[in-house]
Amino acid sequence: MPALKVRGALGLMSGTSLDGVDVAYLATDGERILAFGPTGYRPFTEAERAVLRAALDEAEILADRNARPGVLAEAEAIVTAANAEAVEAWREANRSWMPLDGGAFAAPPVDVVGFHGQTVLHRPEVRLTVQIGDGQALARRLNVPVVYDFRAADVGAGGQGAPFVPVFHRAMAGVLHRPQPLAVLNIGGVANVTVLDGEADPIACDVGPGNALIDDFVAGRTGAAMDTGGELAAAGKVDEDAVRRLLGMRFFTLPPPKSLDRNAFKAAAKVHGGLDRASVEDGAATLTAFTAAAVARIVPHLKRPPKCWIIAGGGARNPTLMRMLAERLAPARVEVAERVGWLGDHLEAQAFAFLAVRALDGLPLSYPSTTGVPEPMTGGVVVRP
C-alpha cells in the first residue's frame, strides 16, 4: 500500500446543542495525527438559534433528504454562512501562526475542510438522515476543497449513520496511557460513546439524550440557553420514579450499534418526566439524572465494563452531571477530556478534520461495530471550488 499523504485539515462541527460552530485544525495522513493546531468558535446568535430550533420542528415531516421546505432553506443558509464566517475568523486570528512549540513540525496549509453541517433529522430506521449546509457554496467561498454529507452513505447502506468519531478516538487513544476497556463519551445534544478494548474494532453508539432535554427544558422555563454550571440541577431534587419510567423505553434494551434523533426523548420526557408539575430546579435535576443514568445503561451491553471514562463535549462543563456520572459509573475512573490533554470542546471538530482526510483517500469512516453498516465504509461528498 502506498504511503498516505499528510494533509492539513480544518474540521467544522455544529452539534445538536445548537450553541455554535467549533473549528479545529490538525495535520494527519488519515491514520496518524502528526500535529494539532489552533481552534476557533463562532457562536450562533439567539435569532439564528431560534431559526434552527424551528427547522428541527419542521424537519420532523421530511421524507426527502434533499428537500428544504419553509424555514429549512433559511436555516441552511444560516448554517453555511456561520461555518464560512467561523473559518474566515480562524484564518484572520491565525495569520501569523507557524510551527508548534519546538518547531519539529510546521503545519501545512489547509488542504481540506471537513464540514459536518447541522443535523435536523436522523431516522436511520427508514434510511433517512438530514444534515443541512451547502458544501459547494462553502468550498467556493473559502476557495478550498470541502468534504460534507458524511453520514448519508452509511445510512443508505443500512447503517445507523452515527456515531462517526470512533476511528478518530482510536487514533487519539493510541498514545494515551489509560487502562482499557476505555470509553470516550461525548455529551452534546445527544450523548455518544466509543469503547476501545485492545485490538478489537471500536464499539460505538448513541446512549441517550445528552444536553438536549436539559437545554430545552431550561430554555422553555427561563429563556436561558442551558443550565449553566449545572446550578439549577444542583439545587433541585431528583424524581427517581420519573427516571425509572424514562429508562423503561425500548431504546435502552437494544445493544449497540444504535443511534438517536435529537428529539427522540422529547415526547416521553413530557409524558413520563412529570415536568409540568416540577419546579425548574427539580425538573433540571431529574433530567440531569436521567441523562447520567442513560449513559450507565450501556454498560450491561458491553463484553467488559470500561475501566476509565473520558468525558468531552458541553456536558463535561456541567459539574452536577459529572458528579452523577461518577456515581452511576463507579468504580470506573471518570475524568474530563482536558485532564488527559485533549480539547474536549473541539474534539468533534478535530474528528471531522480527520475524517475529511480519510474520505479523500477512500479510507473507512464507519464499521459494523460502530454503526451496524454491513462492511467498513468510506463516505462524504467531496466538492472543489
CATH number at residue 173: 3.30.420.40
Q: Residue 150: name the closest of 340, 12, 302 by CA.
A: 12
Is the residue at 139 inside a domain? yes
In a shared domain, residues 207 and 336: yes
> Is 79 within the bounds of a domain?
yes
Give pLDDT, residue 101. 45
- Residues 199 and 93 placed together within one structural domain of the fold: no
Cis geometry, peptide bond prior to residue 300 (ω within 30 degrees of 0): no
Do residues 43 and 353 touch, judged by C-beta distance below 8 A?
Answer: no
Annotated binding-site residue? 17: yes
Question: Are 176 and 258 part of one and the same domain?
Answer: yes
Distance CA 206, CA 191 (A): 6
Q: Does one domain contain both 285 and 357?
A: no
Question: What pLDDT shows up at residue 97?
Answer: 56
Residue type, 332: A
Note the pLDDT of residue 269.
Answer: 85
Q: Identify whether 2 is part of a domain.
A: no
24: amino acid identity, one letter? A
Residues 358 and 252 in one domain: no
**Statement to judge: residues 224 and 361 lie in one domain:** no
Query: Is 22 annotated in some ligand binding site?
Result: yes
- Sequential DSSP letters for 306-356: -SEEEEESGGGG-HHHHHHHHHHHTTSEEEEGGGGT--GGGHHHHHHHHHH
Q: What is the DSSP string of 65-112?
A: TT---THHHHHHHHHHHHHHHHHHHHHHHTTT--SPTTSS-PPPPEEE
Verify that 157 and 170 share a domain, yes or no.
Answer: no
The answer to whether residue 287 is domain-embedded is: yes
- 89 and 151 in a single domain? The answer is yes
Mean pLDDT by 10-residue block, N- to C-terminus, for the chain (385 residues)? 85 93 96 93 96 96 95 98 97 70 53 97 96 98 98 97 95 90 95 94 94 94 94 97 95 95 87 84 97 98 97 96 98 96 94 98 96 96 97
d(CA 98, CA 105): 9
Instruction: Say yes or no: 257 and 323 in one domain.
Output: yes
The answer to whether the annotation marks 18 as part of a ligand binding site is: yes
Residue 378 known to bind ligand: no
Q: How many domains does the chain have?
A: 2
Is 19 annotated in a binding site? The answer is yes
Domain containing residue 21: 7-162+345-383
pLDDT at 103 (0 to 100): 45
- Is 360 inside a domain boundary? yes
**336 and 194 share one domain:** yes
CB atoms < 10 A from the CB of 91, how many? Answer: 15
Contacts of 234 (CB under 8 A, 6+ apart): 285, 319, 320
15 marked as binding residue: yes
Query: Would you say residue 142 lies in a domain?
Result: yes
Does some domain include residue 1?
no
> Is residue 170 in a domain?
yes
Q: Do residues 330 and 355 both lie within one domain?
A: no
* Residue 116 shares a structural domain with residue 196: no
Counting DSSP H helices and E strands in the chain, the numbers are 13, 13
Q: Can you tell me whether residue 181 is helix, strand or coil? A: coil
